Amino acid sequence: MSSSDRPMPRWVVAPLPPDEEQRLAVLRDYEILDTPPEAVFDHLAWLASYICGTPMALVNLVDEHRQWFKARVGFPTAESPRSEAICAYAILNPQQVLEITDTSKDDRFADMPAIAGHPFVRFYAGAPLVSASGHAVGTLCVMDSVPKTLTDDQRQALIILAAQAVSQFELRRRLRDIEDQRAQLISTLNAVPIAIVIRGAPDGRVVVQNEAADRFAGSTNWETIRALRKDGQPLSRTEWPGFRALRGETVRSEELRLTMADGRTVPVYANAAPITDSRGAIVGAVTGFQDITSLAEVARLKDEFVATVSHELRTPLTAIKGSLQLVHSAEGLDAEHKELIGVALGNADRLVRMVNDILDAAKIEAGALKLQRRTLTVAVLAATAFENVRPIAAAAGVRLAIEIESGVRAVHVDVDRMVQALVNLLSNAIKFAPRATTVTLAARRMADGGVSMAIHDDGSGIPPERLHRLFEKFSQLQPGSSNQGKGTGLGLAITKALVEEHGGTIHVSSDPGMGTTFEIRLAGDGTSFAAAAAPLC
């Protein structure tokens, strides 16, 4: 380690600027070092050289240990050590142009290789390249082999050209950020298991489709797919969710079937929404198609499970109920045994009702209830329901009455299902009605042409705090009577669902002490009873 071996530098190496670390970080972030020459920077260097009337000009970036030239005019090398650079001085003061009229007269530079040797730089002027964040990353500099001074205009032009070079760096960085964001968005879109298709306004051509959409379509051409409605009707192009979204509509969870070019059919939920620009104009539409094959499969398995379970329950129940009935009705049974068998029988009956109700509730929830509607008068509907409940009314000592207002329209309903709803309400009313009172079914015409059927009992009424929970599953009122009276807790929930399936509504009003009224309201089907009978007149 002999310091005498190393020749002492015959010039003064520039100190590091106070922001050296941040300055280098900004420079790296520009990602411009060691990139090929580009016309835009060559042009800036040429303009600087021309305007300043110097044979040499550089777009120079000061790296950690070197200066590297993005563009050069009249200068022999592509880079040189930072320790031999005047530009290393120029970046010390980002606010100002460093101008050296005659380098040979300045001890800091006189012996630098490019000054003492080829290309013999005597004049130097460098405008710092200052980033948007205020750090000098290099210079735009001009040089001559003879001493010189710049005019004020030349100096100003050099500053403007330096600013232009920096704005190029900044723009590229912004562009890269945008491209990064785009790449991130695309990889996000591709990570989503939902087929996403973006259409552009106004013609609706596909501008983006993600990988899930490619997999769906079996190709990158989404337009080979055809869409069918749930009922199997094909969708015209303008009816596709994406095209409707282009017209401003938002489509939510619409069930469709997509048919691929290879003939596969996939059930999907389609969602679509318009894409608007910053001024609110619709520039496109995004559509998502979610494969619901597995959901449909789960629903099918659930239905199958419920059907199997209820069948499996029915078989032992048939044996239990039948045996109990035969023993209960046999002669020679003592009173206590007969009563106990009666209890078992009542509970077996209740289990049967529960199995039936659970199956109904499952059907309704699965949307598998198929209404077979026909038009009939309210009088026939009510009479059919009454036939069903006459035995339990007789047993409870309750009278039944029908009141039908004149002008009540016919209804368009699934007779079995509407009778089931009325029977549920009538059985409830009979259960809660005191002995020797009357349960009434009153039908009247509503102002909008619909039909109201109200079932009233003179029971003790329902406390107001219980009213709102009445239609929930397994929300039971205590009838306070025997097992025979106990329900399954599903009756009112099923009744409500049946009425709603018909497009109707159900209401309850009750005052403790004043009895309870359940009212079913059905929309008028447009056919009044009188009109239906008109051909006979």
Which chain residues interact with another protein by CB under 8 A? 307, 310-311, 314-319, 321-323, 325-326, 329, 352, 356, 359
Q: In the bound complex, what is the minimum distance in angstroms from residue 473's beta carbon to another protein?
A: 19
CA 346 – CA 484 distance, rounded (Å): 6
Q: Which strands form 136-144's sheet, in the order they lie side by side? A: 79-81, 66-73, 56-62, 136-144, 123-130, 98-100
Residue 308: CB minimum distance to another protein, A: 8
In the complex, least distance from residue 352 CB atom to another protein, rounded to whole angstroms: 5
Q: How far apart are the first and last CA of the chain?
A: 129
Count the neighbouring beta carbons within 10 Å of the beta carbon of residue 261.
Answer: 13
Please say which residue, 325 or 509, places its beta carbon nearer to another protein.
325
Helices (H), 329-404: 335-365, 378-396
d(CA 147, CA 103): 8
Q: Are 142 and 45 in contact (CB under 8 A)?
A: no
| Cα(223)–Cα(239) distance, integer angstroms | 14
Least distance to another protein, CB of residue 498, Å: 17
Q: Is beta strand 226-229 parallel, antiparallel or unpaired with respect to 206-209?
A: unpaired
Token pair 């001074």 in the structure block, residue: 149
Q: How far is the CB of 482 from another protein (least distance, A)?
A: 20
Q: How far is CA 469 from the centre of its chain?
A: 32
CA gyration radius for the chain? Answer: 45
Q: How far is the CB of 303 from another protein (least distance, A)?
A: 10
- Toward another protein, which CB reaches closer, 328 or 473? 328
Cis status, amide bond into 128, omega within 30 of 0: no
Residue placing its CB nearer to another protein in the complex, 33 or 313: 313
Nearer to another protein, 178 or 394 (CB): 394
Token pair 């280098």 is found at 24
Q: Is 237 or 374 the residue whose CB approaches another protein more closely?
A: 374
Q: From CA 93, how far away is CA 71, in angstroms rounded? A: 22
Nearer to another protein (CB atom), residue 98 or residue 490: 490
CB of 321 vs another protein, minimal distance in Å: 5
Nearest-approach distance from CB 499 to another protein, in angstroms: 22
Is residue 450 a contact partner of residue 524, using CB atoms and an 8 Å limit?
Answer: yes
**Tokens 């990889």, residue?**
187
CB of 305 to another protein, least distance (A): 11
Q: How far is the CB of 294 from another protein (least distance, A)?
A: 25
CB 62 within 8 A of CB 91: yes
- Smallest gap from Cβ 298 to another protein, in A, equals 20
Q: Is the CB of 12 or the CB of 415 nearer to another protein?
A: 415
Tell me the two tokens of residue 409.
């329209």
Q: Which of 212, 310, 293 is nearest to 256 (CA)?
A: 293
Nearer to another protein, 300 or 399 (CB): 300
Q: How far apart are CA 503 and CA 411, in angstroms?
A: 12
Q: Which is nearer to another protein, 319 or 534 (CB)?
A: 319
| Closer Cβ to another protein, 356 or 484, answer by number | 356
How many angstroms separate the CA atoms of 44 and 11, rounded?
30
Cβ proximity to another protein, 300 vs 468, nearer residue: 300
Helix ranges (H only) for 195-334 are 211-217, 241-246, 293-328
Q: How many helices (H) and strands (E) does the chain have?
A: 14, 19
